[in-house]
Chains A and B, each alone.
Chain A
């Protein structure tokens, strides 16, 4: 292509007080090109995109738009130039309607009625139908993303930025979205596609810029590279793998959920319907599903942060625990790592040692109602050495840890208490690959020592790597379980959209082709 690049970045640099997020990044994208920005979590991809969209002001560097230097003042300015962005964490307003949400992103103050009409036609045209009158909080995550995309499409963008768009989609829905993106590109729109998923990038993107630690480490044509090659550029070494040694262990049933139904406490949440499954000692059970399908609500019930009406619905080692609070469940051997680290799994404004007391206090850290800080410090030291947590000292505030280190610390704190049942939600969300590997290995080790582990994750690759069995959650219902070695992503993907025996979309589903998939 020898035309002028639609967008060119020269020496883009953004410095935060504690970290250089972007260090002299150069990037070029042409009209009609789908260009990947590839890098692991924390590499600085999102910051770069926010700089292009005018949300973040870069400290140094130039942006050329169609060959002319521009200073993008704010998102409205970016939109005026023809830049649209679909955020990873949606920038939607829950209590407003679809139309109102889209109106807020339009700069020409449209009247709401004609806008609703346009939403109807354009969304149908792109095969992404949407009801403009719906309140956003009543939409599924996938539909919410649709609102975000449509918001961009209505402005007929010249450049569309998509930040990790597939984490909220089933493998099948990913394909539909790829079709839409290819069509947009064919119409001349440039697409910047941010992801850390190698297979998607190899399938979709024409070119890639690879970023590591805030710097560009290479440019590539993904179709001509191997996954291993891209991974090396992304993390600077071979992709680490977990040890696959897994002795067969047959143990007692650790956790049983028997016909659990609840109404969500949050009016915008998902109700749980007739959920039944179990987890035994010596196995890792993975729960797959698109976020927002009831995982949060289910985990609140399992951890005891929310009590259920009938105590017998949830049992741990045959003890009914449905009416026990988290503290009492931990006394029975439960460990729990929630997906929100800061503010739930750990307390901002407290040191590592103080955060240890949060759940580990039962291990001799309280005597006569008074705290024994020395015990807590000792435990904390074991945790940071055992899980290679990088920190200054154990008296440092927890907020001084990076995302990966914080997750290692919290996981370590829970595992060091030798739980008989460990529940982990989104173990590697936003975590760098090195830390992710430590965490996955720790879960496998715990399993090998005879504990039961339940992992809730949106990353299918991760679940297929570490789990023995899989269950799928969709619209508040949980599927029967599948043995990992007897299923594949295709099948799990279908189940994620609700097409499983007893699932919300069972009737409309074609029965799974392979009769070989083993239903436990």
Chain B
């Protein structure tokens, strides 16, 4: 018996949906192996990592809190990724959103106006878009690679945030700690369900995913982005303005990341800190891919990714598992997905007859 790999005549639609599931399963198996290698009881570790974080309502709320920025940014990035516009700068764009939004919260500190929060979100969105506009501009005018530019800007943005909370935006009564004042209630997202920390930002994120879905799946612009991603020459042939699509693709990611930045500081964090994200901007890239660049899939994969974050914390608390394991899981998940995608285009066939040399 021989296993023969052969190209499918047509890409498999079934495998398109199955390969993220296969990837998640393989990641789980690898997880159990890693736990065992670390000398932990695999079942106990599995429970701590994947079940504990979702065992009651409060924990489920935490899951959605973690998933919210991931799904929002993932959707925004998917808009660009569909057109092969690789915005890797969400982490920095998120920081800029937080800086802009946080600045509003700080200057309106003590105000009880209902406009503070919307203004924060608006400014945060503007901040994220501003940061995303830099690679878009350099790409459209100078042809500079957007991957490298947006990535370099992550480092710059994080340093900028650090600089600001050490200096101008530092709480003057904070004993010199690098952090801003705690935001007033008017600058904080209201809690949706009592007994949880589930805040309005989660709902906003889900709505964002919904808007992304309509845009990507139903709109003409979404179609144009898809064409540009699959065959750029076809987009030019049709007369779609590629520069415009670059701007849309980059700004969509910046918008989503900027808002996510505000939702983080106005939600779970409640002030500006030198670091406001445990790598959500990078994790969202994985979320977008595992979700097949489709908002529905992104919603689901953001929950999975959130579970990895929570599992890392829970494993650390309960079993003394290093939380760095989360990063390994994230990478493995994407590896497995990319590998499993092979089955969309190829199939394995078991043949009995030996291949004759011809």
Contact = CB atoms under 8 A, between A and B. Distances in A.
Interface stretch (A235-243, A326-334, A455-463): A326-334
B238 A359 contact: yes
Interface stretch (A191-199, A344-352, A427-435, A466-474): A344-352
B234 A345 contact: yes
Which of B218, B227, B239 gathers the greatest number of chain A CB atoms within 10 Å?
A: B239
A146 interface: no
Given A366-B220, A369-B220, A17 B6 contact: yes
A185 to B, nearest CB: 29
A347 B230 contact: yes
Contacts of B167: none
B241 interface: yes
Given A17-B9, A350-B230, A397-B11, A60 B358 contact: yes
A344 B239 CA distance: 11
B233 A344 contact: yes
A343 B227 CA distance: 10
A43 B173 CA distance: 83
A399 B230 CA distance: 13
B219 A370 contact: yes
Contact of A340 (B233, B241, B356): B233
Contacts, number: 88
Nearest to A370: B218
A305 interface: yes
A399 B10 CA distance: 8
Given A71-B357, A346-B234, A358-B234, A371 B218 contact: yes
A264 B223 CA distance: 30
A58 interface: yes
A61 interface: yes
B358 A338 contact: no
B9 A348 contact: no
A2 to B, nearest CB: 28
B172 interface: no
Contacts of B10: 396-397, 399-400
B7 interface: yes
Given A344-B231, A345-B237, 15 more contacts: A12-B358, A17-B6, A17-B9, A18-B9, A59-B355, A305-B237, A343-B231, A344-B233, A346-B234, A347-B230, A347-B234, A357-B223, A358-B234, A371-B219, A397-B11
15 contacts: A17-B9, A60-B358, A71-B357, A304-B239, A305-B236, A342-B231, A343-B233, A344-B237, A347-B227, A354-B223, A358-B234, A370-B218, A397-B10, A399-B10, A400-B10
Interface of B: 6-11, 214, 218-221, 223, 226-227, 230-231, 233-234, 236-241, 355-358
Interface of A: 12-13, 17-18, 57-62, 71, 303-305, 325-330, 336, 338, 340, 342-350, 354, 357-359, 361, 366, 369-371, 396-397, 399-400
